[in-house]
Chain A
Amino acid sequence: MVAARSVTVAALPGGGHAGRFTAMAAPCEVLVDGVSANAVRRLTRIVAREVWRIERHWSRYRDDNIVHRINTAGGRPVTVDEETARFLDYAQQLHAISDGRFDLSSGVLRRVWRFDGSDRVPTAEQIAEVLPLVGWHRVHWNPPVLTMPAGMEIDFGGIGKEYAVDRALRLVVQQTKAPVLINCGGDLAVSGARADGSAWQVGVETPEPGPAPVIGLPAGAIASSGDTHRFLLKDGVRYPHVLDPRTGQAVLGGPRTISVRAASCTEAGVLATLALLHGAQAQEYLHDSAADARVWW
């Protein structure tokens, strides 16, 4: 899937400019306080190139990257690059911290769960067929070599966007002292407060009608997870696009949207995702984790 690879700059009402591009199937925006339109264009290009690089590196739709090599290895060991190795280390730690809820190998469940708004919920037998191919505990990760049974797949899509936002931010702040905000489809991070010391005012998309609530972000990042767009509806029960890799089942009774504020977009994204996987206990999990979060049921 190839989207237009270009960066545009638009003037903002109230002054300043925003740099825009598309990546990971989401609209991305870069705001920089107190610099010219040309500087915004230059800095947005730097951000865009880094986000596109990560997208190319880990997209499961390409046939020329490490993810393709891993997913077609058929049980044979694959040596991965340094950045992928770091991400796999991270995924391993998260798998342990989350008691198995966070699992990079859960992507194959999409073979039986197709979230098209229909009522075709998979049966227990269908899930049982695919479940043996899910489970990080089946993966041998001996850095830098990854070996997993044939038929299993790795999917970086879960927090790939948040990771890209954080990496692009770290790259762009080496090029400017001006405050920067990077937002890709609602997952966003800032380099610090705005030039006058005030917080960035960020609107958060929620399932409720009406204007989006505004959150002040003086530092750090916000990531949101939710099922607003993708779900199945059968016999009045809403099956959200939230699958527990330990059971293969959708997690029912959870909130519609969670927005988390944390020091990085990646950390916020992990908290939001794990909270959704706690279903009805989402708020409790966020509270116990001292997470700065808002939940919409």
Chain B
Amino acid sequence: MLRTKPVLITAILLSNFSLGACSHLGAKPWERSVLARPDMQASADPVQAGLDDHVYFSKEASSGGRGFGGGGCGCN
């Protein structure tokens, strides 16, 4: 069933990494060059994401997800 399969796959993928002891979580300041890449940011392409959000808001009943940082959408 289309409805259940994606949820199951996501649950498996997201539970495969375990948030172990806090001392192993994270990166030292000199290890952050990959994380500094533009394509590794939490919101890598905000303009494209805004366009998509507008399309899905007008065709579906849900909206948002990543928060509204960087300016509201006026979509509601």
Contacts and interface: CB of A to CB of B under 8 A. Distances in A.
B34 interface: yes
A145 interface: no
B34 A263 contact: no
Most A Cβ at <10 Å: residue of B30, B31, B37: B30
Contacts, number: 23
Contacts of B33: 192-193, 197, 199, 218-219
**Interface pairs A-B: 4 shortest CB-CB:** A220-B30, A218-B33, A193-B33, A219-B33
Contacts of B20: none
A246 to B, nearest CB: 31
B29 interface: yes
Count class of interface residues, chain A: 10 to 19
16 contacts: A192-B33, A193-B33, A197-B33, A197-B34, A199-B33, A218-B30, A218-B34, A219-B30, A219-B31, A219-B33, A220-B30, A261-B30, A262-B30, A263-B29, A292-B28, A292-B30
A97 to B, nearest CB: 19
A199 B29 CA distance: 15
Interface string B27-48: 0111111101100000000000
B29 to A, nearest CB: 6
Count class of interface residues, chain B: under 10
A193 B36 CA distance: 10
Given A197-B34, A218-B30, 11 more contacts: A192-B36, A193-B34, A197-B37, A199-B33, A218-B31, A219-B31, A219-B32, A220-B30, A261-B30, A262-B30, A292-B30
Interface string B1-41: 00000000000000000000000000011111110110000
Contacts of B32: 219
B41 to A, nearest CB: 14
Contacts of B28: 292
Interface string A187-225: 000001100010100000000000000000011100000
A219 B36 CA distance: 11
A219 B30 CA distance: 6
Contacts of B31: 218-219
Contacts of A261: 30
Contacts of B36: 192
A88 B61 CA distance: 66
A138 to B, nearest CB: 36
Nearest to B32: A219
Interface in A137-161: none
A265 to B, nearest CB: 12
A66 B29 CA distance: 36
A220 to B, nearest CB: 4
A221 to B, nearest CB: 8
